[in-house]
């Protein structure tokens, strides 16, 4: 489970790069019950759920970039994380950068092109609500090389992995837990699939967030009723819950999950 007592390697922040900030705010408000709070003159701001910050939203400005969620992982030293990324064969997309007193961030690509980020907190530790309906409850990587991903992220973020066999001979799903913590604190997973199944990112790996919802079917109806699409589901997964893989109107991907009582 994801918690807000962030430890090294745990997800602590996420933001969406969208071509139309106003439309994205309206979509996620309808699907997840989020309230959008603009930040001054910036073309972006914060999403809140029940008054608590759950994500960020900004204008997509990078040339050639696709609309997507960026997931940030907690680190104690963004510069050290950057050196670890470079040693492990990754690419620095945004060098460590101070955001006033809030904290220090950097963005990277793993050796196969999967994009992620780190956050070294200052006064801002990260999101304020997780693992509740309308908030982040899991992070997930689709990659064409699970072994390479495990080696890279294990070295950079200290993660440990445990494989779970998927039903129906669907291969293995690797569960991710921060270093030194019990499996109850696992926060994500990675799954290998052929590069031609990764068309959203032109064959490159990609991360996406999983948002908890109280009713998956109702949330999916809100997705399709507000211009989004469904790639898979809704379907029940034993021990996990009922889930659907979705795209917002700009094709940014995310998953909706109504967790079962015995898993999430």
Q: For residue range 160-219, list pLDDT tens digits in order.
A: 999 988 776 678 899 999 998 998 899 999 999 999 899 989 899 999 999 999 999 999
Give the mean pLDDT of 12-41.
Answer: 94
Kind of pairing, strands 172-177 and 229-237?
unpaired
More confident residue, 264 or 39: 39
pLDDT tens-digit series, residues 133-175 = 999 999 999 999 999 999 999 999 999 999 988 776 678 899 9
Sorted by where each begins, the domain ranges of the chain are 1-264
Give the mean pLDDT of 22-32.
Answer: 97
pLDDT at 44: 87
pLDDT at 130: 97
pTM for this model (two decimals): 0.95
Architecture of domain 1-264: Roll (3.10)
pLDDT-above-90 percentage for the chain? 81
């Amino acid at each position: 489970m994801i918690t807000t007592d962030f430890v090294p390697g745990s997800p602590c922040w996420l933001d969406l790069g969208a071509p139309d900030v106003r439309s994205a705010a309206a979509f996620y408000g309808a699907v997840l019950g989020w309230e959008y709070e603009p930040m001054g003159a910036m073309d972006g701001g914060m999403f809140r759920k029940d008054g608590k910050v759950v994500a960020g939203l900004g204008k997509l400005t990078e040339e050639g970039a696709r609309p997507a969620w960026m997931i940030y992982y907690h680190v104690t030293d963004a510069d050290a994380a950057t050196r670890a990324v470079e040693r492990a064969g990754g690419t620095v997309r945004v060098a460590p950068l101070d955001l006033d007193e809030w904290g220090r961030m950097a963005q990277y690509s793993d050796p196969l092109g999967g994009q992620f980020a780190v956050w070294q907190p200052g006064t801002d530790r990260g999101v304020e609500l997780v693992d509740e309906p309308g908030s982040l409850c899991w992070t997930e990587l689709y990659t064409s090389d699970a072994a390479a991903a495990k080696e890279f992220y294990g070295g950079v973020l200290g993660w440990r992995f445990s494989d779970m066999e998927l039903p129906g001979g669907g291969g293995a799903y690797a569960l991710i837990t921060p270093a030194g913590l019990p499996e109850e604190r696992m926060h994500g997973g990675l799954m290998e699939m052929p590069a031609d199944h990764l068309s959203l990112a032109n064959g490159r790996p990609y991360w996406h967030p999983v948002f908890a919802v109280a009713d998956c079917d109702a949330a999916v109806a809100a997705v399709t009723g507000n211009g989004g699409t469904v790639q898979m589901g809704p379907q029940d997964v034993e021990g996990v819950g009922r889930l659907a893989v979705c795209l917002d109107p700009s094709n940014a991907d995310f998953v909706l999950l109504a967790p079962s009582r015995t898993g999430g």
